[in-house]
Amino acid sequence: MNDTEEIIQAIYIGIVVATFLYTNGRARKAIELCRESLVLINNKAMEKEEQFGQSLYEAVYEVMFAAYFFIRDYT
């Protein structure tokens, strides 16, 4: 595997783990994990213009929004 494939795999794993975390009441940890995934996307120059890069952004932000929605009453 090359570097880009490993990063994409790490992002997908991060999305799955973040989803698991917020559905089990650990929304703050899920948000932290989503932020780390966004850093990976930005640092490795995933271009937003590409359809694949855009879908990664959308997936991470969707999980992040759900986690923030989960804790909206507690902050």
Model confidence pLDDT, tens digit, residues 32-41: 999 999 988 8
Residue 8 lies in a domain: yes
Q: Which amino acid is at 42?
A: N
Looking from the CA of 20 toward its CB, the CA atoms found within 13 Å total 6
Q: For residue 75, is it within any domain?
A: no
**Cα 27–Cα 33–Cα 39 angle in degrees, nearest 5:** 140
Domain that holds residue 48: 3-69
Rounded-to-integer distance, Cα 59 and Cα 2, Å: 22
Q: Name the more confident of 45 and 54.
A: 54
17: confidence class by pLDDT, cuts 50, 70, 90: very high
71, pLDDT greater than 90 = no
Residue 29 domain-assigned (yes or no): yes
Q: What is the SS3 assignment for 47?
A: coil
Name the strand (E) or helix (H) holding 26: none
Q: In this structure, is residue 74 part of a structural domain?
A: no
Mean pLDDT estimate for the chain:
83
> How many domains does the chain divide into?
1
For residue 23, tell me if it sits in a domain: yes
pLDDT(30) > 90: yes
